[in-house]
C-alpha cells in the first residue's frame, strides 16, 4: 500500500531561492534542533569563494565552520544545484566534526518538507494552487484589511505606514462547454488542455496574483490590492488569453479553440452588513460564493464574457418561469443583495441585435433595433437564490413576459411610490385585497401618490416581518398571510381611521399615516411590534420617515423609510424600530463610503449634520471624506469642530494629527497623537506615527521605543519600520531579521520587499533574488518611485540594461 505522501505528484514541484525566503522561519526553527545558534540569515551568492567552495564540496554535502567568527555556513541544495546558504551565527559546537557531517542531511530533510508542503497545496493537474491554499490566502488578507473598511481612525490609514492595501479581487474563470472536450477527446487530453489553460492564465496575471484550480475546469485568481477596475482588467485579459489559445489533438490533427466565462467580486466593495463582522474564514467563503454568482450570471447571459458581482443585481437577472396571477420567478435572490420591493424593467434579448432588411430592389438596410422594454416587475418574495415577482404592467398586452427575458434594475427615480403609467390599470381606482385589507403592490403606490398631495405632513412606516420558511407555512397550522392580516389589524387599530397600508413586498408592509409627526408614530408602532411578538410570536422590525424633513420631497419619503428600516435592523434588542434621522443618514453614508462612493457619502454626512449638528460621527467621517479628496484645510476644520465639542474623541484626535502632518504642522500633529494615546495607550497607529516622526528627526532611540510599543500591541506591525531604522543605524543583519519577520506577517508588504531587495544588492548577493522582490514591490505599489530605483539597480546588476533604463525612467531618473 502506498503511503499518503507518495500519492502527491512530486515531479512538477520544484524549489527556488524564493521558497527559502518564504520558509526561512521554518528552516530556522527546524535547524535549531540540530545546531544551537543565536541568529541566522540566508545568503544567495552568485559564486562561492574558492576556499568555501572546496570546503562545501562539489555535491554540497558538507557544512563549513568558521570558529573565529562563530558562524556555520550550511549549503541548501536541491537536485544537484545550490539554492542558497543558511548562515548560523553565534554558534558553539560541542562536536564539530560529527555535527558538520550531519547538518547537510538535516537541511535536505527540511527542504523535502518544504517540497512536500508545496505539493500538498498544489493542484496535481496544473501545478497551480488548490482550493485550501486559496482560502488560506484570502483569510490572511481579510484579517489584514477588515479594520480598514469603514470611516474612522483605522480607515484613514496611511498605506505607507501600515503596508496594508485595504482591498482585493477574486476572479473565477470557467471554460465554456468543457465537458464536450472530455467526451470527444478523452480525459487524458482534457487534463493536458487544462494544464495549457492554467499556464496561459498565469501569464496574464499580475506578479502578486495567486492562481488556483478549484474544481474541474474552474480556475480562481486572487489579486491582493486590486480595485474593481484592476480586477476587471485582469479578468478580461485572462478571458482573451483563453480565447487565443489553440490546442492540437495529435490523433486526428484537429485544432481546438476554447472560450471562457469570468465572474469576479471585490473586497470590501461587494460585502454587505453583517458579512463584515463574520469570522474571516466565513468571509472568505462568502467572497467565493459571490464570485461564483457573478460567474453563473456570465454563463446564463451567453458565456464568453465577464461579469462583476456588483452588476449581477443591476443587469444579470433572468425570468425563469411565468406563474398565474401576473407573477413570475426570477434568478435574483438574497445572495446577490436582492430585496423585496425592488423594481426591474423587463426586456427581451431577441431584438437586441442588428437588423438587416432587404428591400425589393435588393438594397440592404442595416441598423440596430432600439431597446424595447416589455414591462416592469417588482420583487415580492425573495429567497436565497431566486425570487417571486409581480408584474406591475406590460408595455403591450400582446407581448407577454416570457422565460429567458432579462431584467434591468429600475432607476431610483422609478421608486415604488410613483404612479403607474397611464393606461388600463391606471384608469381604475386602487383596490384592496380581500383577506389582508392592504392595497396590492401595484395599487399602493397609486393610492399614496394621490393621498399625500393634499396633506402638509404625513409619516410612512415600513414594517418587516420574518421570512417564511422555504417549505411549508411560517408555523405549523398557520399561513403567513394570517400573520400579515393580524399585523395589519394591530397597526390600523392603534392608529385609527386614516391609516392605510399596502404591500411593499411579501414580507414588508407599508403604512401611510397622515397628519402625524414621527414622535407621534414611534410609541404606537413600538406597541404594535410588541403585540406582534406576544400574540403571534414573530419578531418584526420597522422604519419610520416623516414629511417634511430637511429638503426631502414627498416622493423621497419611501426611500427614507427604507433607510430607517436598515437602521432599525442594526439595533441589538427588540423592539427594532428607528426613525429616519441623523443616525440613519450616517449609517447610509457609511455604506456608501464602504462602496467607494465618496461624493455620495459626503452629501449624506452633510445632511446628517443638518439634522443634528452635534453628530460627531458624521462630522468626523465628513472630514475623512474631505481629506481623501484632497481638501485638507476643510477636513482639518471639521476635525477641530469635533475636538472642540468632544476633547477626548480619540478618532478625531488621530485624524486631526494626520491632517496636521500632511500640512507640515508637525508640532500640532505630535501633540494630537500623544493626546490620542492618552485616551488609548494601545493605539498602534498613533505609536507608528510618533515613531516615524522621531525617526525623521534622527531621534532613533525614541523611534525604536515607539515601534516596540506598537509591536507589543500588534505582532508584526512594526517590523518593517524597525528594519528601516536598523538600516539607517548601519545594522544590516538586524534589518534583515526584522524584514524576514515582516514578510512572514505579510508576504505582500511592498515596502518590506523593496527593503529586502536593497539589502541583497548592498550585500553583493544574488541580484536575481533582489530582482524578484523588487518586481513584486513595484507590482504592488507602482506609484512608489523609490521601488523602481531599486528594481533598476537589480536589473543593471544582471546586465539587463534596457530594462534597467526603463525602470530608471519610472523612478524619475532617466
Q: Is the pTM of this model over 0.75?
A: no
Is the distance from CB of 506 to CB of 440 less than 8 angstroms? no
CATH of domain 4-120: 3.30.450
Question: Distance between CA atoms of 501 and 243, rounded to whole angstroms?
Answer: 55
pLDDT (average), residues 777-781: 84
Give the pLDDT of residue 22: 77
- pLDDT, residue 5, reads 44
Domain boundaries, the chain: 4-120, 131-314, 316-414, 426-580
Look at strands 373-382 and 364-368 and give their pairing: unpaired
H helices within 308-403, ranges in order? Answer: 309-315
How large is the average pLDDT for residues 206-223? Answer: 91
Does residue 478 surpass a pLDDT of 60? no
Specify whether the CB–CB gap between 245 and 258 falls below 8 A. Answer: yes
Q: What percentage of the chain reaches a pLDDT higher than 70?
A: 90
Of 11-20, 171-180, 230-239, 489-498, the range with the lowest mean pLDDT is 11-20
Give alpha helix (H) positions in 43-164. Answer: 50-56, 96-120, 131-145, 159-162
The matching CATH number, chosen from 3.30.70.1290, 3.30.70.270, 3.40.640.10, 1.10.1200.10, for 131-314 is: 3.30.70.270
The DSSP H or E segment spanning 191 is helix 187-203
Q: Reply yes or no on whether the pLDDT at 413 is more than 60.
A: no
CA pair distance 731, 733, nearest whole angstrom: 6
Of all residues in the chain, the percent with pLDDT exceeding 90 is 45
Instruction: Evaluate whether the domain defined by 426-580 bears CATH number 3.30.70.270.
Output: yes
Is the pLDDT confidence value at 154 over 80? no
The pLDDT assigned to 612 comes to 95
Residue 656, strand partner residues: none
Check if the beta carbon of residue 544 is closer than 8 Å to that of residue 561.
yes
Residue 163 clears pLDDT 90, i.e. is over it: no
Query: Computed from CA positions of residues 616, 622, 627, 628, in that sequence, does the dihedral angle turn out positive or negative?
Result: positive
Side by side, the strands of the sheet bearing 260-267 are 210-215, 218-224, 168-175, 260-267, 306-308
**Residue 145 clears pLDDT 80, i.e. is over it:** no
Q: How much is the mean pLDDT over the chain? A: 85
What's the pLDDT at 59?
80
Is pLDDT larger for residue 635 or for residue 764? 635
Model confidence at 11, pLDDT cuts 50, 70, 90, reads: low
Q: Phi-psi region for residue 437, left (φ > 0), alpha (ψ -120 to 50) or beta?
A: left
| pLDDT at residue 4, as a whole number | 45
Q: Per-residue pLDDT for 320 more than 60?
A: yes
**CA–CA distance from 290 to each of 104, 170, 310, 360 (Å)?**
48, 9, 9, 52
With CA atoms as reference, report the closest residue to 608 among 533, 309, 544, 600: 600
Across 240-244, 431-435, 653-657, least confident range = 431-435
Q: What is the mean pLDDT of residues 521-540?
A: 90
Cβ atoms of residues 746 and 717 within 8 Å: no
Q: What CATH architecture does domain 316-414 belong to?
A: Beta Barrel (2.40)
Q: What is the DSSP string of 286-311?
A: HHHHHHHHHHHHHHHTTSSSEEEHHH
Measure Cα distances from 36 to 4, 29, 71, 104 in Å: 32, 10, 11, 15
* 668 burial via Cβ count (<10 Å: 0-12, 13-18, 19+): middle
Pick from 225, 218, 226, 322: which is nearest to 263 by CA? 218
One fold for 131-314 and 426-580: yes
Helix (H) or strand (E) holding 518: helix 518-531
Higher-confidence residue: 761 or 472?
761
As a whole number, mean pLDDT of residues 754-771 equals 86
Rounded to the nearest angstrom, the gap between the alpha carbon of residue 143 and the centroid of all alpha carbons in its chain is 12
Three-state SS string across 726-771, please?
HHHCCCHHHHHHHHHHHHHHCCCCHHHHHHHHHHHHHCCCCHHHHH
Q: Which pLDDT band holds residue 148 (cuts at 50, 70, 90)? A: low
Question: Is a pLDDT exceeding 60 seen at residue 168?
Answer: yes
Cα dist. 622→151, 269, 584, 633 in Å?
A: 9, 19, 15, 13
Cell numbers linked to 752: 518590506
Give the pLDDT confidence score for residue 717 in this predicted structure.
Answer: 85
164: left (phi over 0), alpha (psi -120 to 50) or beta: beta
pLDDT tens-digit readout, 551-567: 999 999 999 999 999 99
Whether the per-residue pLDDT at 107 is higher than 70: the answer is yes
Quote the CA–CA distance of 531 and 544 in Å, as a whole number.
Answer: 18
Residue 774: partners with Cβ closer than 8 Å, 6 or more residues away: 753, 754, 757, 787, 790, 791, 793, 794
Distance between CA atoms of residues 147 and 195, nearest Å: 38
Report the distance separating Cα 688 and Cα 340, nearest Å.
46
Q: Which three cell numbers stand for residue 513?
A: 399615516
- Nearest Cα neighbor of 576 from 537, 538, 521, 539 is 539
Count CB atoms within 10 A of the CB of residue 463: 28
Lowest-pLDDT range, 248-252, 369-373, 612-616? 369-373
End-to-end CA distance of the chain: 63
The rounded Cα 333 to chain-centroid distance in angstroms is: 20
- Tens digits of residue pLDDT in 361-410: 677 777 666 667 898 999 988 999 999 999 988 888 888 999 999 998 88
- In this structure, of 51-60, 156-165, 739-748, 756-765, the range with the lowest mean pLDDT score is 156-165
d(Cα 333, Cα 336) in Å, to the nearest integer? 6
Q: Please report the pLDDT score of residue 8 as a whole number.
A: 52
Average pLDDT over residues 537-562: 93
Secondary structure class of 772 (helix, strand, coil) = helix
- What is the rounded distance in angstroms from the CA atom of residue 60 to the CA atom of residue 102? 12
Backbone angles phi, psi at 456, to 5 degrees: -85, -20
pLDDT at 371: 65
Using DSSP's 3-state secondary structure scheme, residue 607 falls into: helix
Number of CB atoms found within 10 A of residue 324's CB: 5
CA distance 210 to 728: 34
Q: Helix, strand or coil for residue 237?
A: helix
Least confident of 68-72, 524-528, 719-723: 68-72
* Identity of the highest mean pLDDT range in 139-153, 158-172, 800-814: 800-814
Residues 6+ apart with CB under 8 A from 199: 126
Average pLDDT (621-650) is: 92
Beta bridge partners of 354: 368
Confidence grade of residue 70 (pLDDT, cut at 50, 70, 90) = confident
pLDDT exceeds 80 at position 506:
no
Closest CA to 119 of 111, 109, 129: 129
Q: What is the mean pLDDT of residues 576-605?
A: 91
Residue indicated by cell numbers 523609490:
786
Q: What is the pLDDT of residue 278?
A: 82
pLDDT tens digits for 666-678?
A: 999 999 999 999 9
Q: What is the mean pLDDT of residues 427-433?
A: 76
Amino acid at each position: 500500500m502506498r503511503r499518503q505522501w507518495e500519492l502527491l505528484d512530486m515531479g512538477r514541484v520544484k524549489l527556488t531561492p524564493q521558497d527559502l525566503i518564504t520558509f526561512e522561519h521554518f528552516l530556522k526553527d527546524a535547524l535549531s534542533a540540530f545546531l544551537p545558534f543565536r541568529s541566522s540569515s540566508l545568503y544567495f551568492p552568485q559564486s562561492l569563494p574558492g576556499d568555501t567552495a572546496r570546503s562545501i564540496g562539489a555535491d554540497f554535502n558538507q557544512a563549513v565552520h568558521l570558529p573565529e567568527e562563530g558562524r556555520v555556513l550550511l549549503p541548501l541544495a536541491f537536485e544537484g544545484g545550490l539554492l542558497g546558504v543558511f548562515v548560523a551565527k553565534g554558534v558553539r559546537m560541542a562536536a564539530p566534526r560529527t555535527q558538520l557531517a550531519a547538518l547537510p542531511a538535516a537541511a535536505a530533510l527540511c527542504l523535502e518538507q518544504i517540497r512536500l508542503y508545496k505539493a500538498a497545496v498544489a493542484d496535481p493537474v496544473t501545478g497551480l494552487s488548490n482550493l485550501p491554499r486559496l482560502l488560506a490566502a484570502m483569510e490572511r488578507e481579510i484579517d489584514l484589511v477588515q479594520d480598514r473598511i469603514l470611516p474612522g481612525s483605522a480607515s484613514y490609514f496611511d498605506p505607507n505606514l501600515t503596508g496594508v492595501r485595504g482591498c482585493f479581487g477574486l476572479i473565477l474563470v470557467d471554460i465554456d462547454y468543457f465537458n464536450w472536450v472530455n467526451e470527444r477527446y478523452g480525459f487524458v487530453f482534457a487534463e493536458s488542455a487544462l494544464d495549457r489553460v492554467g499556464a496561459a492564465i498565469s501569464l496574464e496575471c499580475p506578479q502578486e496574483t495567486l492562481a488556483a484550480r478549484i474544481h474541474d475546469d474552474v480556475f480562481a485568481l486572487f489579486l491582493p490590492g486590486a480595485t474593481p477596475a484592476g480586477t476587471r482588467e485582469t479578468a478580461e485579459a485572462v478571458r482573451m488569453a483563453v480565447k487565443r489559445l489553440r490546442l492540437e489533438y495529435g490523433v486526428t490533427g484537429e485544432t481546438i479553440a476554447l472560450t471562457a466565462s469570468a465572474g469576479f467580486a471585490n473586497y470590501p466593495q461587494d460585502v454587505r452588513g453583517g458579512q463584515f463582522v463574520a469570522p474571516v474564514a466565513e468571509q472568505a467563503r462568502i467572497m467565493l460564493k459571490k464570485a461564483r454568482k457573478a460567474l453563473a450570471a456570465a454563463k446564463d447571459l451567453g458565456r464568453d464574457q465577464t461579469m462583476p458581482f456588483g452588476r449581477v443585481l443591476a443587469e444579470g437577472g433572468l425570468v425563469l418561469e411565468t406563474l398565474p396571477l401576473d407573477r413570475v420567478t426570477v434568478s435574483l435572490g438574497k445572495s446577490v443583495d436582492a430585496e423585496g420591493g425592488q423594481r426591474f424593467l423587463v426586456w427581451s434579448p431577441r431584438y437586441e441585435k442588428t437588423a438587416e432588411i432587404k428591400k425589393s430592389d435588393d438594397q440592404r438596410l442595416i441598423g440596430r433595433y432600439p431597446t424595447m422594454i416589455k414591462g416592469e416587475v417588482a420583487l415580492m418574495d425573495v429567497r436565497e437564490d431566486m425570487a417571486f415577482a409581480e408584474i406591475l404592467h406590460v408595455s403591450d398586452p400582446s407581448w407577454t413576459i416570457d422565460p429567458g427575458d432579462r431584467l434591468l434594475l429600475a432607476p431610483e427615480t422609478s421608486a415604488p411610490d410613483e404612479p403607474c403609467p397611464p393606461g388600463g390599470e391606471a384608469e381604475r381606482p386602487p383596490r384592496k385585497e380581500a383577506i389582508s385589507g392592504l392595497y396590492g403592490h401595484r395599487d399602493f403606490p397609486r393610492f399614496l401618490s394621490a393621498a399625500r398631495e393634499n396633506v402638509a405632513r404625513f409619516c410612512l412606516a415600513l414594517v418587516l416581518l420574518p421570512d417564511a420558511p422555504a417549505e411549508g407555512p411560517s408555523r405549523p397550522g398557520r399561513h403567513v398571510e394570517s400573520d400579515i392580516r393580524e399585523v395589519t389589524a394591530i397597526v390600523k387599530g392603534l392608529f385609527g381611521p386614516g391609516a392605510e397600508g399596502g404591500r411593499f413586498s411579501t414580507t414588508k408592509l407599508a403604512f401611510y399615516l397622515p397628519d402625524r409627526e414621527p414622535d407621534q408614530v414611534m410609541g404606537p408602532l413600538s406597541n404594535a411590534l410588541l403585540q406582534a411578538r406576544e400574540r403571534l410570536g414573530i419578531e418584526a422590525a420597522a422604519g419610520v420617515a416623516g414629511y417634511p424633513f430637511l429638503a426631502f420631497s414627498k416622493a423621497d419619503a419611501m426611500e427614507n423609510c427604507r433607510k430607517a428600516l436598515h437602521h432599525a435592523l442594526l439595533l441589538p434588542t427588540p423592539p427594532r424600530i428607528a426613525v429616519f434621522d441623523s443616525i440613519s443618514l450616517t449609517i447610509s453614508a457609511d455604506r456608501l463610503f464602504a462602496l467607494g462612493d465618496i461624493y455620495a457619502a459626503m452629501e449624506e454626512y452633510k445632511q446628517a449634520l443638518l439634522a443634528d449638528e452635534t453628530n460627531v460621527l458624521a462630522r468626523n467621517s465628513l472630514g475623512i471624506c474631505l481629506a481623501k479628496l484632497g481638501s485638507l484645510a476643510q477636513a482639518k476644520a471639521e476635525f477641530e469642530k469635533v475636538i472642540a465639542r468632544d476633547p477626548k474623541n480619540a478618532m478625531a484626535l488621530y485624524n486631526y494629527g494626520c491632517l496636521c502632518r500632511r500640512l507640515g504642522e508637525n508640532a500640532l500633529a505630535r501633540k494630537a497623537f500623544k493626546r490620542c494615546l492618552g485616551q488609548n495607550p494601545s493605539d498602534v497607529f498613533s505609536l507608528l506615527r510618533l515613531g516615524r516622526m522621531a525617526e525623521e528627526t534622527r531621534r532613533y532611540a525614541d523611534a525604536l521605543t515607539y515601534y516596540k510599543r506598537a509591536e507589543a500591541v500588534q505582532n508584526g506591525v512594526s517590523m518593517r519600520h524597525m528594519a528601516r531604522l536598523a538600516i539607517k543605524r548601519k545594522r544590516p543583519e538586524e534589518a534583515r531579521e526584522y524584514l524576514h519577520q515582516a514578510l512572514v506577517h505579510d508576504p505582500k508588504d511592498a515596502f518590506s520587499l523593496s527593503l529586502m531587495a536593497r539589502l541583497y544588492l548592498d550585500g553583493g548577493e544574488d541580484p536575481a533574488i533582489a530582482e524578484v522582490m523588487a518586481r513584486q514591490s513595484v507590482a504592488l505599489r507602482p506609484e512608489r518611485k523609490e521601488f523602481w530605483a531599486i528594481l533598476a539597480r537589480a536589473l543593471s546588476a544582471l546586465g539587463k540594461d534596457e530594462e534597467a533604463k526603463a525602470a530608471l525612467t519610472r523612478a524619475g531618473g532617466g
